[in-house]
């Protein structure tokens, strides 16, 4: 039993939780649980499904053999939380496991399906990147990419009519392939959306988001919580797209909107802001009137240890060249953990020291300072 077994357990659980009909267990989960029963010695292995589900909610470090835990999983967390995959397990699944593009040998069709959910977007992205570098129409390619990306961030739910309206004139993106990033909602389903974290689901009578560490208050009377009225053809973002595109996009768009507002006031100093330049080489490019350029990437990770290995120098060739580069972290993350930036700096070994690491609040101040210097 190696960390492969842990991966099987996470994949099997993800599949198990997705199914309405819980029996029989997915083959992968049964296999992982059999292995687990032999290895768990720290606690008495539960005899019932209820007992097992309760165990899976406990911090992994209290029951899972430590020597077999992958270092990328934060073992202070359980695998389940209130009956669904915990945030840490979802993160591990989507950012570590499915990203490796190498699934364990026991991966079933349904597990592969989860991995595959992100492929259509990757396919669009790769196609547009290719077109961007080879086509004289590159400006249009870029525009259409931004249109798609913003659409996925801002529309957790959509309808065929809305898709037709937005994508009927796109030359490089097909309506059908955008529709495939969504799944159909059932008629009797209660559909809710949080403006801060996207589509919600109901569990034990309460609304829940998919990233509680970033957004966890979903009382129905709050102004940013909306019920979506069901109508024929209503579609909701697929989980993988929600996790990988929509969620990270929310702080990206927030910062973009703040900067856009600054730019509208001080367009003589801050001349242009490009969103996802070069088909998403990084998040934002700021061009100042002294011809200096800043490149920005926004990263919203709970743990600096998980984020650090993902920080690499931002791409800076051709039109994407820059004078300063920044990784920007939503300030809530730094409030949750005081030594966040210190740890990040220490652990991000692939990052040159010239790349700035700071909060969105501090970054906004830097931009304002720069504008003020240029106004003098």
Residues facing residue 201 across a β-bridge: 208
Which long-range CB contacts under 8 A does 31-40 form with residues at least 24 apart?
Answer: 31/106, 32/5, 32/8, 33/9, 35/1, 35/5, 35/8, 36/5, 36/9, 38/1, 39/1, 39/5, 39/65, 39/68, 40/64, 40/65
Question: 239: closest CA among 250, 247, 249, 228?
Answer: 247
Residues facing residue 295 across a β-bridge: 285, 325
The nearer residue to Zn ion, 71 or 219, going by C-beta atoms, is 219
Phi and psi (nearest 5°) for 124?
A: -60, -45
Residue 24 preceded by cis peptide, ω within 30: yes
Using CB under 5 A, which of the segments 40-48, 188-196, 295-303, 343-351 binds Zn ion? 188-196
Using CB under 5 A, which of the segments 8-16, 187-195, 262-270, 340-348 binds Zn ion? 187-195
Candidate residues 197, 207, 241, 344; the one interacting with Zn ion per rule CB under 5 A: 197
State the minimum distance, in angstroms, from the CB of residue 197 to Zn ion. 3
The nearer residue to Zn ion, 156 or 209, going by C-beta atoms, is 209
The nearer residue to Zn ion, 190 or 373, going by C-beta atoms, is 190
The nearer residue to Zn ion, 196 or 242, going by C-beta atoms, is 196
- List, in order, residues 6 or more apart from 212 with CB less than 8 Å away: 81, 87
The nearer residue to Zn ion, 196 or 299, going by C-beta atoms, is 196
State the minimum distance, in angstroms, from the CB of residue 205 to Zn ion. 17
Candidate residues 156, 209, 278, 304; the one interacting with Zn ion per rule CB under 5 A: 209
The nearer residue to Zn ion, 200 or 296, going by C-beta atoms, is 200
Report whether 36 contacts 2 (CB < 8 A).
Answer: no
User: Among residue numbers 213 through 242, which ones bind Zn ion (CB under 5 A)?
Assistant: 215
Candidate residues 194, 241, 246, 255; the one interacting with Zn ion per rule CB under 5 A: 194
Q: Is 199 in the site for Zn ion (CB under 5 A)?
A: no
The nearer residue to Zn ion, 14 or 215, going by C-beta atoms, is 215
Distances (CA, A) of 203 to 33, 83, 186: 25, 8, 16
State the minimum distance, in angstroms, from the CB of residue 17 to Zn ion. 20
Question: 303: closest CA among 74, 6, 61?
Answer: 74
Q: Is 250 in the site for Zn ion (CB under 5 A)?
A: no
Question: 29: closest CA among 80, 68, 66, 65?
Answer: 80
Candidate residues 196, 208, 244, 302; the one interacting with Zn ion per rule CB under 5 A: 196
Residues within the interface to Zn ion (CB under 5 A): 194, 196-197, 209, 215
């Amino acid at each position: 039993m190696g960390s492969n077994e842990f991966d099987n357990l996470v994949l099997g659980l993800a599949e198990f939780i997705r199914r309405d009909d819980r029996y029989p267990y997915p083959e992968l989960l049964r296999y992982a649980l059999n292995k687990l029963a032999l290895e768990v010695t720290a606690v008495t292995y539960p005899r019932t499904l209820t007992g097992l589900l309760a165990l899976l909610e406990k911090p992994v470090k209290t029951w899972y053999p430590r020597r077999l835990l992958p270092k990328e999983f934060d073992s202070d967390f359980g695998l389940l939380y209130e009956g669904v995959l915990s945030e840490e397990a979802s993160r591990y699944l989507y950012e570590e496991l499915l990203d490796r593009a190498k699934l364990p040998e026991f991966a079933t069709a349904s597990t592969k399906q989860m991995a595959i959910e992100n492929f259509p977007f990757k396919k669009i992205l790769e196609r547009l990147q290719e077109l961007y570098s080879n086509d004289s129409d590159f400006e249009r390619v870029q525009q259409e990419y931004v249109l798609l990306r913003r659409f996925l961030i801002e529309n957790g739910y959509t309808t065929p009519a809305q898709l037709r309206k937005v994508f009927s004139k796109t030359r490089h993106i097909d309506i059908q392939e955008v529709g495939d990033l969504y799944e159909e909602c059932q008629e009797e389903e209660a559909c809710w959306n949080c403006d801060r974290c996207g589509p919600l689901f109901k569990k034990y009578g309460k609304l829940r988001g998919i990233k509680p560490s970033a957004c966890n208050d979903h009382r129905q009377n709050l102004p940013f919580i909306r019920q979506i009225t069901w109508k024929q053809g209503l579609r909701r973002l697929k989980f993988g797209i929600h996790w990988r595109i929509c969620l990270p996009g929310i702080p990206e768009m927030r910062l973009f909107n703040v900067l856009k507002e600054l730019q509208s006031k001080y367009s003589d100093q801050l001349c242009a802001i490009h969103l996802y330049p070069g088909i998403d080489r990084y998040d934002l490019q700021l061009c100042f009137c002294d011809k200096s350029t800043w490149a920005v990437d926004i990263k919203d990770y709970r743990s600096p240890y998980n984020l650090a290995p993902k920080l690499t120098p931002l791409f800076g060739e051709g039109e994407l060249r820059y004078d300063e580069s920044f990784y920007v972290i939503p300030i809530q993350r730094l409030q949750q953990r005081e030594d966040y930036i210190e740890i990040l700096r220490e652990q991000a070994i692939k990052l040159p020291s010239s790349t700035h690491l700071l909060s969105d609040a501090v970054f906004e101040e830097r931009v304002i300072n720069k504008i003020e210097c240029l106004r003098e």
